[in-house]
Each structure stands twice: as structure tokens, then as C-alpha cells.
Amino acid sequence: MTVRVYPMTAVRGDYIRAGIAFAIASGFYAVGLATGEVPILMAGVLIFVMVASALYGLLAYTRHRTRIEQTDDGLVVTAWRRKAIPWQDLQAIRLSYFASRRERRSKKIEGEGWMELRLKGPEGTVRIESTCEGFEDILRPAVAIALEKRLSLSGATAANLESIGISLEPPPRLRVSRRDREAAS
């Protein structure tokens, strides 16, 4: 069993962004309350920003505490609840690519974005971002199982897999001769 996590370097920026947004909004709100000059619309906007940044920080915390246990039989992802995806019960796989703002402006793929793997099993869907350590070590067996089970892949998933060098050819099946099977018995 291999345990995978999101390292602090993967979530540090999210924590900082959430903290700064919350601090600025709450600072303006506190100053406005102290002076008594906060229009109702401005107060609503500041409260919205505080709630949104707190939720963003909570999402970062959830990702940081997520634990992915990988075995030969499948994955067990534990964040707030536990979800198991046994490989034999894999129902769907999707790999999405999200470009950074700079990539969208220049309309070039420079590799600054991130990927998200979605695996669907009987207990629900798990999402794993490429910032997780060992992301490709999770992705490769999932793709191999999906190809073996002949699950359909979207065009975007196929293009994303090919862009990172993962072949979509199903693994060759080993043919075992009758003599070899009898020798193994």
C-alpha cells in the first residue's frame, strides 16, 4: 500500500489567498462598523467575500488533509469521509486540464495549468488533482484498468492522456500455452 497526500507546497498558495482575502474584507468591514459608515450594499459585499474566502480556505484544508491509499486492488480516498474505488468496480474515468490565466490569454499550452482526475466507482466519484504527489502513479493503473474494461473515454480525456505520454492502446493479453498451464499446476 502506498499513501499519497497533497504536500504543503501544493496548498500553501490557496491558504495565503484565502487568508489575504478574508483579512482585507474583514478589515474593511471592521473599520466601517467602527466609523458607522458602511452602506448596506457594501456590508453585503464584504460579508460575501469573507464567507467565500473562508470556504476557499476550507477547501484548501480539505485537500491538504486528504489521504489517498493506493493498492493493487484500488484506491481509498479519505478526506471528510472515506470512499473506496476498487479497480474491478471502476465505472468511469475522466482527465481534465485547466489552463492558467496566462495560458488562456496567450492561447498556448505552456504547462502551467493543472489536471484533475475523476474516478467513478460504486461509492461515488473521487477527484484527484495533479498537485497530489505521485499523481501519474495513480493515473497510469487507472487508465490501464479503464482500457482493459473498455470504458469509454471522452475526446478531451484521450487528448489529455496523450499529451502527457500515456498510450491509449490496451495492454497486450498474455497468451499462456497449455503446456505452461499444465506445468504451473
Residue-wise pLDDT for 35-47, tens only, equals 887 788 888 999 9
Domain match, 73 and 159 both: yes
Domain match, 118 and 101 both: yes
CA dihedral 90, 78, 135, 93 (to 10 degrees): 20
Domain match, 72 and 159 both: yes
Q: How many domains does the chain have?
A: 2
User: What proportion of the chain, given as a percentage, has pLDDT over 70?
Assistant: 85
Domain match, 85 and 96 both: yes
Domain match, 81 and 118 both: yes
Residue-wise pLDDT for 76-134, tens only, equals 999 989 999 999 999 999 999 988 766 555 545 455 788 999 999 998 999 999 999 99
Domain containing residue 13 = 2-65
176: pLDDT confidence band, cut at 50, 70 and 90? Answer: low
Asked, for residue 178, whether it belongs to a domain, the answer is no
Domain match, 74 and 155 both: yes
Domain match, 80 and 145 both: yes
pTM: 0.75
Three-state DSSP string of 134-175: CHHHHHHHHHHHHHHCCCCCCHHHHHHHHHCCCCCCCCCCCC
Asked, for residue 183, whether it belongs to a domain, the answer is no
| 67-71, strands of its sheet edge to edge | 2-5, 67-71, 74-78, 82-86
> What's the pLDDT at 172?
58
Residue-wise pLDDT for 45-60, tens only, equals 999 999 999 999 999 9
Look at residues 65, 80, 99 and tell me which one is the last residue of a structural domain.
65
Domain match, 95 and 36 both: no
Domain match, 120 and 87 both: yes
Asked, for residue 111, whether it belongs to a domain, the answer is yes
Q: Is the pLDDT of residue 33 over 90?
A: no
User: What average pLDDT is seen over the chain?
Assistant: 86
Domain match, 151 and 82 both: yes
- Number of other CB atoms surrounding residue 71 within 10 Å: 11
- Range with the poorest average pLDDT among 59-68, 147-156, 170-179: 170-179
Look at residues 49, 65, 81 and tell me which one is the last residue of a structural domain.
65
Asked, for residue 172, whether it belongs to a domain, the answer is no
